[in-house]
C-alpha cells in the first residue's frame, strides 16, 4: 500500500479477527489519558505506591526489625500492641486512601463524557453502522474504564504489598495474606459500579456538565439523605443507599476488618454489596437500553 495515495485503492490485506470491542477499549484509554487531571491523579497515585515501596525497602535495610519496633513504640505510647501491627488493618487505611481521593475523582474525570460525547457528535451512528453490537460497545468502554481505575489504584497498592511481603518473615505473610485478593475484589466491585454508574448518567444527561453535577448530587445528597433516614428509622442498613458508605463497608469486609465498635453505625456488608451489584445492573440496563434504541442488531 502506498502512503499519500491520491487515488482510492481497494484493500487487499487480511482482515483481523480481533473483536470490535478491543479497538474501542484502546481508544477509550487514549482518550481518557488525554485529560490533564487524569494524568496528574494517576501519576500521583502510582508515585505514592512507588514512594511507599522505596520507604519500606529503605526501612528494611536500615532497621530490619522495624515492624516489631513499631509495635513496641505503640505500647510505650499507651496503646494495645495489636493496634500497631502491620496487618490487613493498615492496608484498609491505605485502601480507603486510594478509593476516596483517587478512584472517585478519576472515575468522574475519565468517564463524564464517554457516551454523551458520542451522542453529541453522532458517533453512535458511525459505530452501529459497523460490526459492533451495543454489548461490545459497553464491553469496550467498560473494560478500558475499569482497567484504568484498577491500574491507578490496585497497581500501587499491590506494589506496596509485594515490597512488604518480600521484606518480611513468613509469620508476617500470614497477617497480610488476605490483602491482595481482598483489595482486588473490593476495588473491582467499586470500579465496575462507578464506571457503569457514570456511563448510565452520561447516557441519560447526554451532557458532560450534567453528568458531573448528577454524580456529585448522587454522592453527596443521597449520602445526606441516607443519614437522615437512618436517624429517623434507626435502621443502619438504610446507610447502604449511600455509595460512599458502601465503598467503605466493602473495603472493610474484603479485608476482614469490620469494626467491632457498635457506636460506628454501618450497614450490613451483604446489603452494601447487594446495593452495589444492583446499582451496576440497573446502570448497565440504562446504558444498554439507550444504545439498543440506535441499532436493533447484535
Binding site for other proteins (CB under 8 A): 1-11, 13-18, 20, 23-24, 27, 30-31, 34, 117-118, 120-123, 125-133, 294-298
Q: Give the residue with the Cβ less far from other proteins, 269 or 298.
A: 298
The cell 450497614 sits on which residue? 267
Q: Give the residue with the Cβ less far from other proteins, 168 or 212.
A: 212
> Shortest gap between Cβ of 194 and other proteins (angstroms)?
21
> Shortest gap between Cβ of 32 and other proteins (angstroms)?
10
State how far the Cα of 159 lies from the Cα of 190, in Å rounded to an integer: 20
> Shortest gap between Cβ of 33 and other proteins (angstroms)?
11
> Shortest gap between Cβ of 146 and other proteins (angstroms)?
20
Q: Give the residue with the Cβ less far from other proteins, 1 or 77.
A: 1
Q: Give the residue with the Cβ less far from other proteins, 1 or 232.
A: 1
Q: Give the residue with the Cβ less far from other proteins, 13 or 78.
A: 13
Q: What does DSSP assign to residue 121?
A: T
State how far the Cα of 251 lies from the Cα of 270, in Å rounded to an integer: 12
CB 45 within 8 A of CB 102: yes
Main-chain dihedrals φ then ψ at residue 264, nearest 5 degrees = -85, 100
Angstrom distances, CA of residue 108 to CA of 1, 32, 111, 163: 42, 11, 5, 31
State how far the Cα of 165 lies from the Cα of 152, in Å rounded to an integer: 21
> Shortest gap between Cβ of 205 and other proteins (angstroms)?
16
Beta carbons within 8 Å of 63's beta carbon, 6+ residues apart = 69
Amino acid at each position: 500500500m502506498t502512503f499519500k495515495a491520491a487515488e482510492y485503492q481497494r484493500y487487499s490485506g487480511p482482515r483481523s479477527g480481533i473483536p470490535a470491542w478491543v479497538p474501542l477499549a484502546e481508544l477509550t484509554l487514549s482518550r481518557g489519558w488525554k485529560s490533564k487531571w487524569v494524568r496528574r491523579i494517576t501519576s500521583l497515585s502510582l508515585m505514592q505506591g512507588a514512594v511507599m515501596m522505596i520507604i519500606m525497602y529503605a526501612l528494611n535495610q536500615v532497621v530490619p526489625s522495624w515492624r516489631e519496633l513499631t509495635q513496641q513504640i505503640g505500647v510505650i505510647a499507651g496503646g494495645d500492641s495489636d493496634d500497631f501491627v502491620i496487618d490487613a488493618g493498615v492496608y484498609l487505611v491505605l485502601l480507603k486512601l486510594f478509593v476516596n481521593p483517587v478512584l472517585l475523582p478519576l472515575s468522574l474525570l475519565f468517564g463524564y463524557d464517554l457516551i454523551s460525547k458520542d451522542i453529541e457528535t453522532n458517533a453512535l451512528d458511525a459505530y452501529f453502522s459497523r460490526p459492533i453490537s451495543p454489548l461490545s460497545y459497553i464491553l469496550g468502554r467498560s473494560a478500558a474504564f475499569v482497567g484504568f481505575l484498577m491500574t491507578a489504584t490496585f497497581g500501587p497498592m499491590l506494589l506496596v504489598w509485594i515490597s512488604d511481603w518480600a521484606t518480611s518473615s513468613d509469620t508476617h505473610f500470614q497477617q497480610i495474606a488476605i490483602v491482595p485478593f481482598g483489595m482486588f475484589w473490593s476495588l473491582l466491585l467499586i470500579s465496575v459500579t462507578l464506571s457503569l454508574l457514570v456511563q448510565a448518567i452520561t447516557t441519560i444527561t447526554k451532557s458532560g456538565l450534567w453528568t458531573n453535577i448528577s454524580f456529585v448530587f448522587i454522592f453527596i445528597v443521597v449520602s445526606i439523605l441516607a443519614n437522615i433516614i437512618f436517624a429517623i428509622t434507626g435502621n443502619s442498613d438504610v446507610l447502604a443507599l449511600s455509595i460512599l458508605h458502601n465503598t467503605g463497608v466493602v473495603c472493610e469486609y474484603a479485608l476482614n476488618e469490620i469494626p467491632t465498635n457498635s457506636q460506628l453505625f454501618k450497614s450490613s456488608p451483604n446489603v452494601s454489596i447487594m446495593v452495589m451489584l444492583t446499582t451496576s445492573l440497573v446502570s448497565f440496563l440504562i446504558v444498554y437500553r439507550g444504545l439498543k434504541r440506535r441499532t436493533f442488531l447484535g
